[in-house]
């Protein structure tokens, strides 16, 4: 990769012809034939299936199988796919251009069925599933100059090498080459399926050019509305989101930041030295909270990134993009190292990804935030105080600190603008929660960063709740 980075970047060849004109519905009508799966055989623990090029995925990638240290190309053709409807006519008789990506399947939810577990498709995007999950948020290999006011650069995986697992293996290793105008990189992914599926990632990056902002372990998700930001949606569903909160932990702090769908592009920066974990999580697993029988949002995976080694100083950047539809991925989060990247630099990063219903968060300490709600201020039964905002944060009270008695909890609450007008803490014993109610008076502020945590005997005993309030 270092040699590749020393050469000028070459734009990959995109497909032409009818496949390039496929729309979303047409593209979905092309399916890989299960009986053509690669890596298959008696007692094979994993199988590989490829994605046809077309629609948004117009750049072929090269796939190789590695057996006993020797790589050989994996070849594909039209005979590997089923073309439903009129897709065969739309594509025409142009030569097969290669495949756009691939997925790995294994017996995850049923010993007799191979379920899709890990998928690579489009630029450097990939996603995985834990047991019981359906696809939701995605990850990327790298993010460059995201939401800085200019053009974002999208590095892409161009070539993959998949080690053939032996019968009885519980994991599979994938190597990948990444390329873009600014960087060339080598990646290794080690997939281990389970209740929480893990993907161990190692990457070595070689930079052709200076990078204004390097985004490590980038995550992409969707938040349309929910109790912590209901918006103006007239929808029978109570929530629509792939993820509901950003979590960030260090050796001395544990943050949770509920996601929002702002009216303007919003940025949040959480500075951390040597992070222990960060990720986008879906904590509410109750179908009744979503009521969507098709999307199954209650089954979307959480994804937690646990860095390997010392990442040094930097910050987690959260970007929230306004959207009116749930088909738009409007949430982005990644780690930005403090040290800038210059042309000729090389960087290495390693981390473990935890995909699942409730993956553990290294460094997470204290009572978890179970839910966050907001509305107009004031007292129930009286006219709402529309110039105020009320925030209600429910913390898990199932594991109280030793010696705690009712009335002894305190709250550490602050805002960067406006005024904290009132703070109330209530122990709701039958629900097993501590409820913190905050009345916030914005005054003339247009933006304010709010923070809240529970204290006992002067010590923080909960996650620190963060929220970015906007006047519009």
How confident is the model over 428-440, as pLDDT tens digits? 999 999 999 999 9
> Are 350 and 381 part of one and the same domain?
no
> Are 345 and 410 part of one and the same domain?
no
**Is residue 50 in a domain?**
no
> Are 414 and 326 part of one and the same domain?
no
Question: What are the tokens at 359?
Answer: 């993956």
**Is residue 169 in a domain?**
yes
**Is residue 181 in a domain?**
yes
Give the count of domains, the chain.
2
pLDDT at 126: 99
Task: Give the mean pLDDT of 256-283.
Answer: 96
- Residue 442: give the domain boundaries: 369-470
| Residue 86, CA distances (Å) to 27, 32, 69, 190, 392 in order | 11, 16, 42, 39, 53
* Of the residues 302, 322, 356, the one at which a domain ends: 356
Strands annotated E in 181-244: 183-192, 197-207, 214-221, 223-225, 240-241
**Is residue 362 in a domain?**
no
Please report which confidence band the pLDDT of residue 144 belongs to, taking 50, 70 and 90 as the band edges: very high
DSSP helix/strand/coil, 98: coil
**Is residue 35 in a domain?**
no
pLDDT for 188 beyond 70: yes
More confident residue, 85 or 145: 145
Task: Give the mean pLDDT of 39-56.
Answer: 95
Mean pLDDT of the chain: 95
* Of the residues 324, 356, 388, the one at which a domain ends: 356
Per-residue pLDDT reduced to its tens digit, 73-85: 999 999 999 999 9
Task: Give the mean pLDDT of 278-305.
Answer: 98
Question: What are the tokens at 259?
Answer: 């996601």
* Of the residues 296, 323, 356, the one at which a domain ends: 356
Cβ contact 243:281 at 8 Å? yes
> Are 343 and 379 part of one and the same domain?
no
pLDDT for 153 beyond 90: yes
pLDDT at 462: 97
CATH number for position 449? 2.60.40.10
**Is residue 54 in a domain?**
no
Per-residue pLDDT reduced to its tens digit, 217-243: 999 999 999 998 998 899 999 999 999
> Are 408 and 278 part of one and the same domain?
no
**For 431, how many CA atoms within 13 A lie in the half-sphere containing its CB?**
11
Please report which confidence band the pLDDT of residue 403 belongs to, taking 50, 70 and 90 as the band edges: confident
pLDDT at 1: 64
DSSP helix/strand/coil, 272: strand
> Are 457 and 348 part of one and the same domain?
no
> Are 396 and 327 part of one and the same domain?
no
pLDDT for 202 beyond 90: yes
**Is residue 219 in a domain?**
yes
What stretches of 310-367 show up as alpha helix (H) in DSSP?
Answer: none
**Is residue 42 in a domain?**
no
- What's the CA gap between 100 and 96, in Å, rounded? 12
CA of residue 277 relative to chain centroid, distance: 13
Task: Give the mean pLDDT of 322-330.
Answer: 97
Question: What are the tokens at 35?
Answer: 């009986």
pLDDT for 64 beyond 90: yes
> Are 320 and 194 part of one and the same domain?
yes
CATH number for position 345? 2.70.98.10
> Are 329 and 434 part of one and the same domain?
no
> Are 351 and 227 part of one and the same domain?
yes
> Are 389 and 325 part of one and the same domain?
no
> Are 380 and 309 part of one and the same domain?
no
Per-residue pLDDT reduced to its tens digit, 414-423: 999 999 999 9
303, 367, 241, 54 alpha-carbon torsion, rounded to 10°: 0
- What's the CA gap between 275 and 273, in Å, rounded? 6
pLDDT for 122 beyond 80: yes
pLDDT for 7 beyond 90: no
């Amino acid at each position: 990769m270092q040699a590749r980075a020393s050469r000028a970047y070459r734009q990959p060849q995109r497909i032409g012809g009818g496949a390039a004109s496929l729309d979303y519905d047409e593209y979905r009508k092309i399916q890989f034939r299960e009986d053509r799966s690669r890596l298959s055989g008696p007692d094979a623990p994993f199988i590989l299936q490829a994605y046809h090029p077309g629609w948004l995925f117009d750049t072929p990638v090269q796939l190789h199988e590695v057996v006993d240290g020797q790589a050989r190309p994996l070849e594909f053709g039209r005979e590997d796919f089923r073309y439903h409807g009129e897709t065969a006519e739309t594509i025409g008789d142009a030569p097969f251009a290669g495949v756009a990506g691939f997925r790995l399947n294994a017996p995850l939810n049923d010993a007799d069925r191979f379920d899709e577990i890990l998928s690579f498709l489009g630029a450097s995007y990939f996603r995985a599933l834990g047991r019981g999950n359906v696809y939701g948020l995605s990850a990327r290999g790298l993010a460059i100059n995201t939401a800085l006011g200019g053009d974002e650069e999208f590095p892409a995986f161009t070539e993959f090498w998949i080690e053939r697992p032996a019968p009885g293996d519980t994991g599979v290793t994938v190597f990948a080459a990444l390329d873009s105008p600014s960087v060339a990189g080598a990646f290794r992914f080690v997939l281990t399926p389970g209740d929480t599926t893990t993907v161990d990632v190692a990457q070595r990056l070689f930079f052709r050019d200076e990078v204004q902002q390097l985004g490590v372990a980038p995550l992409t998700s969707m938040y349309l509305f929910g109790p912590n930001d209901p918006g103006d949606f007239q929808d029978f569903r109570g929530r629509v989101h792939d993820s509901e909160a950003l979590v960030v932990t260090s050796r001395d702090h544990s943050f949770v930041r509920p996601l929002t769908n702002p009216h303007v592009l919003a940025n949040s920066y959480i500075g951390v030295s040597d992070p222990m974990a960060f990720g986008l999580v879906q904590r509410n697993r109750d179908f009744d909270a979503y009521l969507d029988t098709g999307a199954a949002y209650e089954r979307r995976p959480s994804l937690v990134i646990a860095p390997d080694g010392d990442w040094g100083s930097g910050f987690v950047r959260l970007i929230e993009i306004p959207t009116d539809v749930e088909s738009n991925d409007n949430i982005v989060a990644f780690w930005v190292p403090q040290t800038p990247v210059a042309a000729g630099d090389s960087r290495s990063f390693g981390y473990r990804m935890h995909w699942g219903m409730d993956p553990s968060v290294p460094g997470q300490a204290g009572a978890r935030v179970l839910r966050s709600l907001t509305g107009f201020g004031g007292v129930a039964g009286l006219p709402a105080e529309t110039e105020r905002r009320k925030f209600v944060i429910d913390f898990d009270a199932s594991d109280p600190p030793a010696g705690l008695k009712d009335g002894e909890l305190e709250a550490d609450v602050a805002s960067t603008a406006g005024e904290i007008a009132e703070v109330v803490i209530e122990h709701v014993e039958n629900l097993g929660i501590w409820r913190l109610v905050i009345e916030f008076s914005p005054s003339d502020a247009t933006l304010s960063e709010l923070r809240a945590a529970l204290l006992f005997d002067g010590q923080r005993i909960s996650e620190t709740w963060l929220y970015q309030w906007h006047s519009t």
